[in-house]
Amino acid sequence: MLRTLTHPSERNPDPSVSVLSRTVSGIVALDKPEGRTSFSIVNEIKRLFDFRKVGHCGTLDPFATGLFLICLNRATRIADQLLELDKVYRFGVRFGLESDTLDRTGRLASVYEGPPFSEGDLQRSLDRFRGVCEQQVPRYAAVKVRGRRLYALSRKGIEIELPRRNVNIYRIKLLSYDWPDAGIEVNCSKGTYVRQLAADIGRDLGCGAYVTELRRLTVGAFSIDRALSFEEFKNAMPTCYWQGTIMSMNDALAHLPSVSIDPGMTLKRLLDGNLDPALEMNLRERFSRQTTPVRLVAALNNELIALWWPHGVGEKQHRLRVFGSDITDNSHPL
């Protein structure tokens, strides 16, 4: 889930970095290190760079590593769209054991004493999990239930009925197997818990299992191959290099359809939060069957100005989400 932090009392000692960090919006792809919580990384980036807002697009457990998308300033308002993207994970599984957290950081809950299964048995089990299935949310998860984090309730010993949700396993591939350990790669929909998937596979085989390592490789078109290490990003702070690591909001949402908005009164009205009637009529005709939002992009500089929903979004069915512009009014020839 997206976390947005209010502006801290501390100020970055370098005024040039501070000025830039208050005006630049976009997405940074980091390779999250093991042992750090998602919140601590967001908090440190916020403090070091003096950004107005910092958020992330999907929590990774402290023991997990891999692709971690950071939203800066206005980009925190597109995090919900990035959370919708499919993901690829590579993970290790140890069979014959179960833990209360479904991973190696938890306490052992049961031990299997039977014989090992064959690679063929494992492959057939993986095949059974392909497609749409109902998955139980793990007891130690960050999802909120009754207004509180599920893991917080679990740590206090509060019993609660665990939510269930439909997820889609598009592809699941066995990379290696040497009892009791296996390496697996999965391409899955949003909301899939890999820890729960591993536990379900272990129970399907009758021996139990937990995750020993977990690495996120992709989020939509974002890939770990182009991610910076957390240390690389921090070391770029005293220079202007860090600006080149930021993907624009428009590029980050390139999977959504777009409409180019020419300079003039239409763009000016849009920046003021109003949609030109002629433009909206055109959008309704072109995207009547579209289920995702449409990008409204300034032709002048290819900047994402707004998102427009063909059928509304939220309880009040809002159709328009305006982001404004990183360019000042004086330099923007409307």
Task: Tell me which residues are annotated as active site.
Answer: 61
Q: What is the largest CA-CA distance in the chain?
A: 74
Please give the distance of CA 187 from its chain centroid, rounded to a whole number. Answer: 14
Q: How many CA atoms lie within 13 A of 29 on its CB side?
A: 20
Q: In this structure, are residues 263 and 300 in contact, taking their beta carbons and an 8 Å threshold?
A: yes
Cross-strand pairs, 136: 164
Q: Where are the beta strands (DSSP E) in the chain?
A: 26-32, 54-56, 65-72, 87-95, 97-99, 108-111, 131-136, 144-145, 148-149, 164-178, 181-188, 209-219, 222-223, 228-229, 258-261, 294-298, 303-313, 318-322
C-alpha–C-alpha distance, residues 323 and 53, integer Å: 14
